[in-house]
């Protein structure tokens, strides 16, 4: 689907965004760890002591696992820091808010999405309260269980074909596997 010239991301429909940013999987890239480290340093420079911990999560953090070429970062905010304070600093730095769950004090942001498609480096930032470990537990489960990681890779391949232009459905279809993995951990 061709995008209208001059249309901003916020002006595009969800369908247009899904076509502009399809689900694509790549073989593991050792540069993803470097991308994470570079962005972690930038985030710490912007946010300082508002951050209690950052971690590279998601499939790009699991050596050998196929992944969307999007580096996921878990940022746990310091207990005395307001989420809005962090969001304001990040939005001023060019991050875009993807989803917000104010009931839980969580927000997901992205960087590297442009009206022309993906930039060279793309990031998803998951801001959570200190002590929210599920995304870390899942990453560590895949690292420690190569057979489960292989099963997860096969599932992702199937889902990438079925939901190439529907990111929400792709993510939702992985939920049962993630929950079952966390239950075994």
* 3-state DSSP of the chain: CCCCCCCCHHHCCHHHHHHHCCCCCECCCCHHHHHHHHHHHHHHHHHHHHEEEEEEECHHHCCCCCECCCEEEEEEECCCCCHHHHHHHHHHCCCEEEEEECCCCEEEEEEEEECCEEEEEEEEEEEEECCCCHHHHHHHHHHHCHHHHHHHHHHHHHHHHHCCCCHHHHHHHHHHHHHHHHHHC
Tens of pLDDT, residues 45-73: 999 999 999 999 999 999 999 999 999 99
Tens of pLDDT, residues 109-160: 999 999 999 999 999 999 998 888 899 999 999 999 999 999 999 999 999 9
Whether 4 shows a pLDDT value over 90: the answer reads: no
Domain boundaries along the sequence of the chain: 13-184
**Domain spanning 13-184, CATH class:** alpha beta
Confidence of residue 5 (pLDDT cuts 50, 70, 90): low
């Amino acid at each position: 689907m061709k995008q209208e010239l001059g249309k901003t991301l916020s002006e595009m429909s969800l369908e247009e965004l899904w076509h502009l940013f399809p689900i694509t999987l790549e073989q593991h890239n050792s540069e993803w760890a470097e991308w994470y480290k570079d962005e972690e340093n930038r985030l710490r420079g912007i946010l300082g002591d508002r951050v209690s911990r950052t971690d590279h999560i998601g499939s790009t953090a699991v050596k050998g696992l196929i992944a969307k070429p999007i580096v996921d970062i878990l940022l746990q905010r310091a207990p005395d820091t307001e989420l809005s304070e962090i969001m304001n600093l990040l939005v001023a730095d060019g991050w875009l808010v993807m989803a917000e769950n104010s009931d839980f004090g969580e927000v997901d942001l992205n960087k590297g999405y442009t009206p022309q498609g993906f930039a060279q480096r793309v990031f998803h930032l998951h801001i959570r309260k200190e002590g929210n470990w599920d995304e870390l537990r899942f990453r560590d489960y895949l690292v420690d269980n190569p057979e489960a990681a292989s099963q997860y890779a096969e599932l992702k391949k199937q889902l990438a074909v079925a939901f190439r232009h529907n990111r929400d459905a792709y993510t939702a279809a992985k939920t049962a596997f993630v929950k079952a993995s966390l239950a075994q951990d």
